[in-house]
Chain A
């Protein structure tokens, strides 16, 4: 094996092992920054040793042992300097070989869960939560994170350092919260994962191929979370939502890079495997027998689309009902606009238009181009082409997305030519 090959293999092993390693070490040293340093040190040792001795049979245990030896070395050298190490010294039993195995086999699930709750702590800013999670739980390099967010590497590095310092300074415990706090904190965790996913999915600018990395990482993290917190129905709801949305990746834009609306997408190209996985996750969520939360409801809506053989065969009545449920859980004019579209599809454009007209007075919707866009669409269906044209023009003037502008202008032009016939 060449040095470059070994290096790439070590990278792969690092990606598989580092979250467990960091989680296990954090549990011992109670400091996520120190834990990451120790894990990194172990990686450096592996990079030196493995090309000589070959890759060990159980690389995870090897790295863990190396990290702990390193901790002991530090401890010996700085005997009294750091209280942290002193604390470690008092728990001398942590350094037995049995312990290494136990850490690797035993409570790893809990440790990972704790680590997710720690990196997604509400004390940190959204950006910091995302960066720290990608770094510690997904094993991405600061460079990869920076490229995904189109930020400078130094910015991301600083963000991560600051986040770790904050966790330390505020003495954020390494634990899974209980009761009501669990609900609140879990919401923050799910938000971080979905934010990550959306950043990759709905990217409006930039380097095209690094963004999907975020989608994949978010989906992977969601799948991990569903395994280690299987009783939380919203976790399955979010996973279902992400799986089903991912199934449409290849149909969302045409060859010219223009967006293709859900109704016009080539359903034959939807990824059946991901749809199946999404539906299975939704079923797991429903089996828990709790009222569906916002993620599960959105997943259920996505599932309706995924199960329909064509746009016409979509169960719009069910979708309208699901939006109704969603708007009760988190009332928002945007959800309401979606409900209007579903109502129009289920019961006729005039009913949808009624809701849209009621929404037009909402101050929050004033600058929102999708409102006139949807209104234009309904007016076309009602044959009120001149009014529709004005709405499309208005919508085009409101969006900054060039491709959307072009789409809206061409729809406006169609209204004109149809009206003159």
Chain B
């Protein structure tokens, strides 16, 4: 008896060792390439450092004071939020519309439609930016078509006007990501119990009533999660801005990531790695605070929804 137990123990122990061995490579990569860089960006932010030679000039929070008094930083900060607000509003709502249409099981060819609307998601953002730069250029397709159908008389300089440049950026960014957000919404739609729809049908509810009283309330929790995901990812927009407008005209589309890149890697004088890291830390903290706030909303909505679903369900059944 005790002999078998000993044997089992020995075997279990061996399994544990194997399990640790299996995790070890991922752990090394995580510690070295994720955790270490996160910590180091905080360290760099306390130094006045060009990235060349040893890090000797400890300046404490001077970089932070410098960042906050820099007009161009606040400009980039503001632009990031304008982009995020525009992008989230447009992409989340249009994606919901597509998902509602493409969730209909009676609709033939819906897999083909989903594939078509999903296509921009898998393509390379940087290349999309370059293509769109052409399409929205002065002699590009958009001006050409708008002139042909008589909406405008003269070519509109979409990308060289500060206001329209931001609008184009938001439209192209939304076009690129709507497909994936549509898939998130479709997942949410498929999680709604079919019985609720059947009961509503028996009660003679119109499709508008079904949408308002069943579909939308039950989508609220996943909607909150989608809001969180899209907001956080759009605050880190880089590829598209770099290739479509490069922050211009006159810094009107420069976002925080572009600002960081400019100071760390593409500055005209010596690089300012310490300063750029400071902006990186601030962006990280901003994203973290917003995630917390939106995460709190996700939890709230989840709680609220559970109560709501019970009352709706009770009434309908």
* A, B from the same assembly: no
